[in-house]
């Protein structure tokens, strides 16, 4: 996005690439580590921001260190993958994991006519997603010849005839010239933990709404840190780019004497699976129950354009509300058009702590090419209002 040189020249920031911090001396006010030639460095600070991000999880299982195995985190990782693809030696790929990075990689590899198999141990494709919506995503993958092996625990990767073979305990093995491990990430919080800072969910660094850690001179922001959920008010770890960027800016403001308290996150996320747009915001019904709500949910399908306008396709909407307070808790959407950015309407409603009834009364846009008179979100909200009244 921006080179180190631009930071140095335009912003006057002394960017030290190739420098790995190995220790934070919180009370002594210094970081120490190793530079590009393994030269030791020590840098004192009045205030410190930890923004170490997250790292892909690679299981410590047999064969996961084979040369065919890669992760997708850095630009260097993608260069490694591209070099392999350009060598023409890759005709079969196995992707371990079924999150958004796995699905985006499946699409990219299919575009190069490579055979792709996705594997994961659990039975559900996207466990957080409503089953009807997840079934649509699965159909989309399979219609593009991606083999979806749920219930496949990749316990071992072996070499077999000059290729890798990804093996499950039952004796099934899938041949692969390239194995992408995309089973999730973990926050890079070891330095913070060793410095005695308090950790939050999933081992992320616990911060307050002003991004302050448990040490008064140290802040943390981005994938390494936690945040407060705007619906549950609880600490959560949802590593995504906007909140990382916003938190970084907020820390800078804070250090420069302009204190900013962040509202928190709604967990709004979108991704593309071939021709499908997949979107979510807020809590799922299961997360709502765990957070102490009494959720009710509906799933509807409505056209992406007015009936009279050609070319419409279904948008599936799943809405979750709280029976006791009437509050809107979360939304999920899947569709070929109009799903990705539509999720921003319920996301704003979550920040505003709207009830489902209030959301059902919002004045959402209508014109035939963009949706029916009653937007799919309003159809879902009306049904949820009805359901919550019937059940109360
Ligand atoms: C393939 C992929 C696709 C993604 N797509 C999306 C998307 O569509 N939408 C979205 O919202 N998010 C997406 N994300 C997530 C998004 O990239 C992250 O949320 C965001 O980059 C987090 O920013 P960050 O600054 O906290 O961490 P990072 O960008 O990971 O930066 C952390 C930095 O800290 C450095 N560092 C770590 N440890 C040390 C140390 N000890 N000493 C010195 N430096 C250190 C690292 O080298 C790195 O430069 C995607 C991520 C991946 C991998």
Predicted confidence (pLDDT) per residue in 291-317, tens digit: 999 999 999 999 999 999 999 999 999
* Residue 47 CB less than 6 A away from ligand 1: no
* Length reported for the chain: 392
What integer pLDDT is reported at residue 161 of this predicted model?
78
- Smallest CA-to-CA distance from 252 within 7, 16, 6, 5 is with 7
pLDDT in tens, 240-264: 999 999 999 999 999 999 989 999 9
Whether residue 88 has pLDDT greater than 90:
no
> What is the CA 349 to chain-centroid distance, rounded?
21
* Residue 223 CB less than 6 A away from ligand 1: yes
Task: Spell out the long-range contacts of 209-217 with Cβ–Cβ below 8 A and sequence spacing 24 or more.
Answer: 209/261, 209/262, 209/263, 209/264, 210/250, 210/254, 210/259, 210/260, 210/261, 210/262, 211/247, 211/250, 211/251, 211/254, 211/262, 212/254, 213/50, 215/26, 217/26, 217/29, 217/45, 217/46, 217/47, 217/48
What integer pLDDT is reported at residue 68 of this predicted model?
94
The burial of 65, by beta-carbon neighbours within 10 Å (0-12 exposed, 13-18 middle, 19 or more buried), is given as exposed
Check residue 12 and give left, alpha or beta (phi > 0: left; psi -120 to 50: alpha). left
Q: What is the mean pLDDT of residues 79-96?
A: 94
Task: Spell out the long-range contacts of 29-36 with Cβ–Cβ below 8 A and sequence spacing 24 or more.
Answer: 29/217
- Smallest CA-to-CA distance from 97 within 89, 105, 88 is with 105
Q: Can you list the alpha helix ranges (DSSP code H) found in 182-225?
A: 190-194
DSSP assigned state of 197: P
pLDDT in tens, 104-116: 999 999 999 999 9
DSSP string of 226-262, one letter each residue: -EEBTTT-SEE----HHHHHHHHHHHHHHHTT-----
* Residue 268 CB less than 6 A away from ligand 1: no
Assign 160 a pLDDT band (cuts: 50, 70, 90): confident
> Which 3 state secondary structure label does DSSP give 29?
coil
In angstroms, the CA 241 to CA 71 distance is 19
Assign 327 a pLDDT band (cuts: 50, 70, 90): very high
In angstroms, the CA 110 to CA 117 distance is 10
- Smallest CA-to-CA distance from 98 within 181, 211, 30 is with 181
DSSP lists the bridge partners of residue 317 as 300, 333
Biggest CA pair distance of the chain: 70
- Interval between CA 343 and ligand 1 midpoint (Å): 24
Q: Which atom of ligand 1 is nearest to the CA of 22?
A: 41
* Residue 334 CB less than 6 A away from ligand 1: no
What integer pLDDT is reported at residue 212 of this predicted model?
97
**Nearest-5° Cα angle at 128, 124 to 130:** 80
Residue with tokens 């631009």: 6
pLDDT in tens, 266-285: 999 999 999 999 999 999 99
Whether residue 390 has pLDDT greater than 90:
no
* Residue 56 CB less than 6 A away from ligand 1: no
**Nearest-5° Cα angle at 203, 191 to 331:** 135
Q: Can you list the alpha helix ranges (DSSP code H) found in the chain?
A: 4-11, 75-86, 100-110, 131-143, 190-194, 241-255, 285-290, 344-351, 356-360, 376-391
* Residue 222 CB less than 6 A away from ligand 1: yes
Is the CB of residue 377 less than 8 Å from the CB of residue 300?
no
* Residue 21 CB less than 6 A away from ligand 1: yes
Sheet containing strand 115-120, edge to edge, reads: 69-70, 178-181, 92-96, 115-120, 146-150
Whether residue 170 has pLDDT greater than 80:
yes
> What is the CA 383 to chain-centroid distance, rounded?
29
- Interval between CA 352 and ligand 1 midpoint (Å): 29
pTM of the predicted structure, to 2 decimals:
0.96
């Amino acid at each position: 996005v921006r080179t180190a040189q631009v930071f140095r020249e335009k912003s006057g920031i002394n960017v030290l690439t190739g420098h790995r911090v190995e220790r934070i001396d919180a009370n002594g006010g210094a970081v120490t580590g190793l530079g590009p030639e393994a030269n030791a460095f020590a840098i004192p600070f009045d205030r410190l921001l930890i923004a170490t991000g997250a790292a892909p999880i690679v299981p410590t299982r047999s064969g996961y260190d084979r040369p065919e195995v890669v992760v997708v985190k850095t630009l260097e990782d993608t260069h490694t993958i591209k070099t392999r693809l350009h060598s023409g030696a890759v005709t079969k790929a196995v992707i371990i994991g079924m999150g958004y990075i796995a699905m985006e990689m499946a699409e990219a590899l299919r575009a190069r006519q490579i055979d792709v198999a996705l594997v994961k141990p659990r039975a559900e494709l996207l466990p957080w997603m409503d089953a009807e919506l997840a079934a649509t995503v699965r159909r989309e993958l399979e219609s593009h010849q991606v083999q979806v092996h749920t219930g496949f625990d990749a316990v071992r990767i072996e070499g077999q005839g000059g290729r890798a073979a990804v093996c499950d305990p039952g004796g099934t093995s899938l041949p692969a010239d390239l194995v992408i491990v995309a089973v999730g990430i973990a926050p890079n919080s070891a330095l913070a933990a060793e410095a005695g800072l308090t950790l939050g969910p999933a081992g992320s660094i616990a911060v307050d709404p002003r991004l302050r850690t448990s040490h008064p001179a140290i802040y943390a922001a981005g994938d390494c840190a936690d945040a407060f959920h705007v619906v549950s008010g609880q600490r959560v770890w949802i590593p995504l780019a906007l909140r990382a960027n916003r938190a970084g800016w907020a820390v800078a403001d804070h250090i420069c004497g302009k204190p900013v308290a962040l509202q928190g996150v709604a967990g709004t996320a979108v991704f593309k699976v071939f021709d499908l747009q997949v979107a979510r915001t807020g809590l799922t019904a299961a997360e709502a129950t765990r957070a102490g709500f009494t959720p009710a949910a509906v799933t509807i399908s409505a056209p992406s354009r007015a009936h009279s306008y050609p070319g419409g396709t279904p948008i599936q909407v799943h809405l979750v509300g709280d029976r006791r307070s009437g509050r809107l808790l979360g939304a999920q959407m899947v569709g070929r058009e109009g799903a990705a950015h539509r999720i921003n309407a319920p996301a704003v409603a979550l920040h505003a702590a709207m009830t489902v009834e209030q959301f059902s009364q919002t004045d959402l846009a209508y014109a035939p090419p963009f949706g029916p008179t009653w937007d799919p979100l309003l159809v879902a909200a009306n049904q949820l209002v009805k359901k919550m009244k019937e059940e109360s």
